[in-house]
Amino acid sequence: MSWRDHITSDPSILVGKLVVRGTRVGVDFLLELFANGWTREQVLANYPGVSAEALNAVLAYGRERPGDRPMNLATFRRRAREIFDSIPEELRHGVEYVRVEREAVPHPSMPDVYTLGECATGEYDVGLDQPGAVRSGVHLYYGSFRELARLMVDADLKLAERELALSGLRNSSS
């Protein structure tokens, strides 16, 4: 069985996001339920339109596409370091390090706005004795990325609820 037999995309359903074939249940939504500790039994009981075979397909899709799943702090740190290390030295222009912080940095007055990262200039003094040399580092806020991912899931859930309501209206008027 291929996951492609049970998963589809249609621009008129959830704005083209992947869904379980014959439903309006999003694949990312189901994977997020599992990431939050739901069991197969809970998913099947709460989403009767999703068969056990379709759920197997969703899990197979999730295994095949690990980059699409939420990233934990250790993986985020490792990937940030790998990406930073892949930038040639001559293109860094004085940026000496990347540091990943655990916390989220919300905007002081705007809800749902977060600082994802910032450049910290002058914190790392290596080479400051050279004329015109400015050393700096990049600070990334893992918690801010997680908050934005949560907000996107919440937005997807609201969109799914709207789609389900519209579907119900369409079906009741037929």
Q: Which fold has domain 73-148?
A: Zincin-like (3.30.2010)
Confidence of residue 105 (pLDDT cuts 50, 70, 90): very high
On whether the pTM is more than 0.85, the answer is no
Tell me how far apart the alpha carbons of residues 82 and 151 are, in angstroms, rounded to a whole number: 27
Q: Are 100 and 140 in contact (CB under 8 A)?
A: yes
- Taking residues 46-67, what's their average pLDDT? 85
Confidence of residue 44 (pLDDT cuts 50, 70, 90): very high
Confidence of residue 124 (pLDDT cuts 50, 70, 90): very low
DSSP state of 80: H
Say which CATH class 3-69 falls into: mainly alpha
Confidence of residue 133 (pLDDT cuts 50, 70, 90): low
Tell me how far apart the alpha carbons of residues 157 and 12 are, in angstroms, rounded to a whole number: 16
Closest CA to 25 of 53, 48, 1: 48
Total Cβ atoms within 10 A of residue 86: 7
Domain ranges of the chain: 3-69, 73-148
